[in-house]
Amino acid sequence: MANDHTQDPFEMFRRLWGPLGVPVPGLAMPTLDPQELDKRIAELKAVEMWLNMNLNMLRTAIQGLEMQKAGLSAMQQAMNKGGPKQDP
């Protein structure tokens, strides 16, 4: 049991995130190698571009659905106004 207290408290997070290839800020050892820093920056910029692309696609999908909803609402209103009148 004494051995449990000497383990790295972040090891669980490293095991969870490590296989996914996702860098977890603050859990990796800092480096002073400029080439390694350039590599990390390039990887993170690639992830940022991928996320931005997905965000733009999501926004486009949302706008399309909003337009579809507005069109359906306009059609329903037009049908209600121009529909046959019922005698009371």
What digits encode the pLDDT tens for the residues 42-82?
999 999 999 999 999 999 999 999 999 999 999 999 999 87
Per-domain boundaries in the chain: 2-81
Question: Greatest CA span in the chain, whole angstroms?
Answer: 87
CA angle 67, 69, 71 (to 5 degrees): 70
d(CA 32, CA 80): 70
Rounded Cα–Cα distance for residues 64 and 70 (Å): 10
pTM beyond 0.75, yes or no? no
